[in-house]
Structure 1
Amino acid sequence: MADKVLIVDDDPAIYRLLEKIMRSYDLETTVADSGNAALNLLKTHTYDMILMDITLGDMEGFEVIKKLRSQGIQTPVMIVSGRNEDYDSLYGLSVGADDYVTKPFRPVVLGAKVKALIRRNKNMVLGQSDLLECGPFTYNTSTMRFYKGGEEITLSSKENSLMLLFMKHPGQVFTKDMIYEHVWGTSVAIDDNAIMVYINRLRGKIEENRQKPEHIVTVRGLGYRFMP
């Protein structure tokens, strides 16, 4: 049975091109020309991949991704957008996208990326476990217990959320507003001091020397990166 791709784009020229490319890779396609249409389809249908534009008529693609992730839908999402600012790609990945491709794109590259992401996701589902492991760190997502080198470290609720975010995306740079949205659930009225307090608390628990952190590293002018 062919893998299924949901294309979310309100530009007929673009979604017809995407349909043509996907079909050339033996993938079945369905088109949703708005964010709400996509969310309604996802209530009753399952797909192996979602290709998501950012600029839709009724809402931004970022909002669609946040809503489907909040509903527990883990289908891989690849953003395909003409917006090529670093912030857009970082933000898209932070809200739950798995990849970000800018227009114009090479059809052969896009098709190969889609097939590879579908294959990777299927392999992850087959080997899925409750344990996240990064370097010396282990996080049990079912018990919310965190370990370094086999020794348990007790974390508060906010520290748990922050550590889980970092461990799911090792090496990725997170800006303060991205962290605030993930951990506090909003990007409005960001409290820089609160973020720094929790970063320092985590460093105090996992770093050998919190003054010279090796795992939660400050990326000057951007935010923080977790280096396991």
Structure 2
Amino acid sequence: MSTRILVAEDDEMQARLIRVYLEREGHTVQTVHDGRTALERARTGWPELIVLDVMMPEISGLDVCRILRAEASRTPVLMLTAQSTENDLLLGLDLGADDYLTKPYSPRELTARIRALLRRTQQPAAAKPTVLTVGGLHIDTARFEVRIAGSPVALTAKEFGILAVLAAAPGRVFTRPEIIDKVFDLGREVVARTVDVHVMNLRRKLQQTPADPGCMVETVYGRGYRLTEPAGGEW
């Protein structure tokens, strides 16, 4: 399936290489080389996925991601970073990136990461809508929508995936490795701390909604996470 992808990379040679590999996969690709232009293109709603370099002129990739998420953009973002420390990587996730790739990387790994992201955010046209309901929380996995008592909640692809996993079995504890296997498609390459950051962001967004969903994402220390069932067991 062809996807419209925006590649924001200040290294023009690297941007061309990424474009060649993505076009071989059948995608439609636009390239830009500074953060301000990336933000302008992203705001048009054209891209269905953004590959975003952290170090760019005008506006950094981190700030572009932060602004888009503040504007409730749900477009999946894959961050490219030359920073390899855990804190640097987690900062991108905390700002709303769905995945990250550390330079240097192989184009084949980049395309594999993009395929994994798209599997989580795009549904086949013939897919039957599936709605998960726990208390006042409603998750439409076909439409990629979350509502609490009718109020929409804007989540990133990874936050949505984690919530859908937990909501499919309210009360059940999911370990971090289980969540990684079900949501990230990256296996051992994802550290447990990455899951913690996404859960922290997910909780914050759910709590910012005025209505009470009657359930919450709970930490079970030493085990993992679960979505609590509504009081009294009422659904």
Q: Does 1:98 align with 2:104?
A: no
- 2:36 is paired with a residue whose SS is helix
Q: TM-score, normalised by structure 1?
A: 0.61
Q: Percent same amino acid among aligned pairs?
A: 24
Partner of 2:225: 227
- What per-residue deviation string (whole Å, max 9, x for no partner) do you get for residues 55-103 of structure 1? 1112221111111112222111101121111112211112111111111
Rounded to whole Å, the distance in 1 between the matches of 2:96 and 2:85 is: 18
Q: 1:206 to 1:43 in 2, by over 3 A?
A: closer
Map of 2:21 onto structure 1: 21
Deviations 1:90-136 (A, max 9, x none): 111121111111111122221122122113201299757575x6xxx
Q: How does 1:40-189 map to 2 (within 5 A)?
A: 40-123=40-123, 127=129, 129=131, 131=133, 139-140=137-138, 141-143=147-149, 168=163, 171=176, 172-174=195-197, 183=204
Paired residue secondary structure (1:80): strand
Unmatched 5+ stretches in structure 2? 139-146, 152-158, 167-175, 177-194, 206-214, 227-235
Q: How far 1:139 moved relative to its partner?
A: 3.9
Structure whose CA Rg is larger: 1
**CA separation of 1:45 and 1:12: change in aligned 2, threshold 3 A:** same
Letter in 2 for 1:37: T
User: Is the Cα contact below 8 Å between 1:80 and 1:102 reproduced in 2?
Assistant: yes
1:5 aligns with 2:23: no
1:137-167, Cα deviation, whole Å (9 max, x unpaired): 984532289xxxxxxxxxxxxxxxxxx99x6
State the aligned residue count: 170
Name the structure, 1 or 2, with higher relative contact order (CA <8 Å, separation 6+): 2
Structure 1 residues without counterparts, runs of 5 or longer: 146-163, 185-204, 208-213, 219-224
Residue identity opposite 2:60 in structure 1: E
The alignment status of 1:215 with 2:219, answered yes or no, reads: yes
Separation (CA, whole Å) in 2 of partners of 1:118 and 1:87: 26
**Is contact 2:80-2:103 (8 Å) kept?**
yes
The amino acid of 1:142's aligned partner reads: I
User: Does the CA contact (< 8 Å) of 2:2 and 2:26 recur in 1?
Assistant: yes
TM-score by length of 2: 0.59
**Residue deviations 1:156-191, cap 9 Å, x none?**
xxxxxxxx99x649842249xx969x959xxxxxxx
Residue 60 of structure 1 aligns with an amino acid whose one-letter code is S
Letter in 2 for 1:215: T
Tell me if the contact between 2:79 and 2:99 (Cα under 8 Å) persists in the aligned partners: yes
Relative to 1, partners in 2 of residues 1:94 and 1:144: Cα closer, same or farther, differing over 3 Å? Answer: farther
